[in-house]
Amino acid sequence: MGKLIGKFLEKEGCFLKNIPEFPFLSFDSNLLKNADSIRRECKVFSLGTIGRRYEGKREDKNMENQDFESAKKQETAQNANSWVAENPHETHLRVHEVELPWYRKYLFSTDHKVIGIQYMITSLLIALFGFGLMIVMRWQLSYPGKPIPLLGGVLENILGHDMFPNGVMTPQAYNAFGAIHGTVMIFMALVPALFAGFGNFVVPLQLGAPDMAFPRLNMASFWCFFVGAVIIMVSFFVPGGAAKSGWTSYPPLADLADSGPNFHPILNGQTLWLLGMAFNITGSLLGVINMITTIFQLRVPGLSWMRLPFFVWAELVTAFLMLLAFPPLEAAAIMQLMDRVAGTSFFSPDGLIVNGQQAHYSGGGAPLLWQHLFWFLGHPEVYVQILPTMGIVAEIIANNTRKPLWSYRILVYSVLTIGFVSMIVWAHHMYMTGMGQAISTFFQLFTTIISIPSVLIGTVFLMSLWGASIRFNLPMMFALAWLPLFGIGGLTGLPLGWSTSDMVLHDTYYVVGHFHYMMAPTSIMALFAGIYYWYPKATGREMNEFLGKLHFWPTFITFNGIFLPMLMQGFAGIHRRWYDGGQGWEMAQGLLWLNHVMSVSAWLLALAQIPFILNFFWSLFYGKKVQSDNPWQATTLEWATPTPPGHGNFLKPLTVYRGPYEYSVPGNEKDYLPQWEPDTKPQVPQAKVTKI
């Protein structure tokens, strides 16, 4: 690439001394497509700093061509060498002064950092949308049948009188809000933010790579995800509203819902749900192929497997889980789509009675086949969301305890074990389907086994805190909050892994409480921890600490106020799908007051996010500027880049000399030893030996 660019520049009268010797002068490959861009690039060098542009007639006609070219190159090389030596950082900036159109720079960018930010911003907006759906549902559960204050009239005008008559939520609207809340929060908010958002931005930097392995594939991945999310949210505005068959879309209900004479064959909620999921899964598969290739192929010299930051390990295992588990769900979505639009019956059984009449289709389908295909992804999806949070927490704990993680190898082997075992436990979601004792025992056994590496990871984090002088900054506060939330989520899952207790707790609010402890507070606290931690690197500014603490404490408290009462209601047998919150069940009356506790906590949680939103955008313009490229005094490679990183990321080639968490090394002047700094052993004076 360097030689090719050199030929273009030379043709335009712009010369550099052996471009391959300047690997930090990285060029956008799109410049090669446009001669005008090449000329503008040459003008950067013609400013009398790096090179000189020669145009027009040669003044000395007597000079032979070879001597003339040699003289030009020699002069250019001298200027380049002297200026680069004096201005290494400016070199990186000046070479990229050519401005791309705004749509190439911010919309259709191939830069991994821009794509990571696109994923993050889009996912946060979708999370805000999904959270808003839950806020409305909580009113219905606490005050069933009553008009929703402030929002009731607005929702009636937007979604129609059939969904919100006089501002009251109908069962159809409740089912639609519940289905889309679960779908977007898992598949289009938290997983894209944790895996793709942080993964795209951080992983290439931690590898010392200039970009992802396939930049255009990276861009296509984001836009497939974006299109899928838009389709899902637009489905609210088609006749009949959004999908109402739950976020799991179980057939035969999902095969028949939103169909009939009053529905469009394609533009209906359930069909659009399937189309949106197909786009989303396609984008995810493009992204994971890119992530795996990048980690395998673009590590800098010296960055062996056991020198990788744990966050990279977490992203790698997550990518393999998605690569193996997502294709069955995409195939299932396409099969269900064919059941709805092409008259097939992959999941529709014989003899199904609809509205008092036998349904007209070929039959012979298996509704349980959908459950197997869905949960084959559905359970690994839990770890797809949790493993990146483990990587984030590991980075922050190591940095703020100022000591190496207690056992890096245990972390790595544990996350690899989780990745393997999580693929063979999916059917513990299906004990109620009547599976045989032998199969049930198999899934119970491995569901219990997978808790062992999870406990080991939590133990490593706790042991890393032991005896440490902890820095309680904003990222560390959110990372520490992750530990008890992860513990509660994991421990409450054990009874659901055993068929005897699951028979009692299945379909109660206990399942909702356990599931949300893992997928909501645990994931979201780590998400906030990562944002506060890498925000200075991405923007060059620090977030306000007071606003951050004002965000942290109410968020931590209200999360538990929402989900802890669900566990209590679950033990009382309150069903998780009751649209009235249990008002019609006599045995639930003693615990219905907890609905008000959960709803008030949810509304306070919404208010608690206002300081974060203000902090996020205010700090972009008025936050304190970082004083160095490594404000946290960290050891991994992302802190070796300029702040914020430019195109190509690094100013010079890097070599890794040690592991990722060398803190408080005895004999070292600083309490941290970055991966990219060579060893500097102190000179030990030699003792004189006197012969007797």
Quick one: 122 and 74 in the same domain?
Answer: no
Residues 571-627: pLDDT tens digits?
Answer: 999 999 899 988 888 888 889 999 999 999 999 999 999 999 999 999 999 999 999
Peptide bond into 239 cis (omega under 30): no
Neighbours of 318 (CB within 10 A): 27
- Is 244 contained in some domain? yes
Average pLDDT, the chain: 86
- Is 43 contained in some domain? yes
- Is 537 contained in some domain? yes
Quick one: 255 and 327 in the same domain?
Answer: yes
- Is 636 contained in some domain? no
Q: Which pLDDT belongs to residue 514? A: 96
Quick one: 147 and 18 in the same domain?
Answer: no
SS3 of 558-624: the string is HHHHHHHHHHHHHHCCCECCCCCCCCCCHHHHHHCHHHHHHHHHHHHHHHHHHHHHHHHHHHHHHCC
Query: Which residue, 603, 622, 641, sits at the end of a domain?
Result: 622
- Is 660 contained in some domain? no
Quick one: 160 and 142 in the same domain?
Answer: yes
Tell me the two tokens of residue 425: 């436990």
Full residue range of the structural domain in which residue 312 is found: 107-622
Burial class (CB in 10 A: 0-12, 13-18, 19+), 260: exposed
Beta bridge partners of 575: 508
Q: Looking at the 3D structure of the chain, how many domains does it have?
A: 2
3-state secondary structure (DSSP) of residue 353: strand
Quick one: 140 and 288 in the same domain?
Answer: yes
Quick one: 82 and 137 in the same domain?
Answer: no
Quick one: 119 and 90 in the same domain?
Answer: no
Quick one: 251 and 388 in the same domain?
Answer: yes
Neighbours of 215 (CB within 10 A): 18
Quick one: 135 and 168 in the same domain?
Answer: yes
Quick one: 611 and 467 in the same domain?
Answer: yes
Tell me the two tokens of residue 155: 């929702």
Residues 13-26: pLDDT tens digits?
Answer: 343 333 333 333 33
| Helices and strands (H, E) in the chain, number of each type | 24, 2
Tell me the two tokens of residue 181: 């809340």
Tell me the two tokens of residue 51: 């090179």
Quick one: 405 and 519 in the same domain?
Answer: yes
- Is 643 contained in some domain? no
- Is 690 contained in some domain? no
Burial 447-481 (b: 16+ CB within 10 A, else e): beebbebbebbbebbeebeeebeeeebbbbbbbbb
Encoded amino acid at 585, one letter: W
Query: Which residue, 82, 99, 116, sits at the end of a domain?
Result: 99
Q: Which pLDDT belongs to residue 681? A: 60
Non-local CB neighbours of 194 within 8 Å, separated by 6+ positions? 385, 388, 389, 392, 523, 526, 527, 530
Q: Is the pTM here over 0.75, yes or no? A: yes
Quick one: 86 and 213 in the same domain?
Answer: no
- In this structure, what CATH number is given to the domain that contains residue 580? 1.20.210.10
- pLDDT below 50 — which residues of the chain? 1-64, 68, 80, 83-85, 88-97, 683-684
- Is 649 contained in some domain? no
Query: Which residue, 599, 622, 645, sits at the end of a domain?
Result: 622
CA atoms within 13 A on the CB side of 378: 19
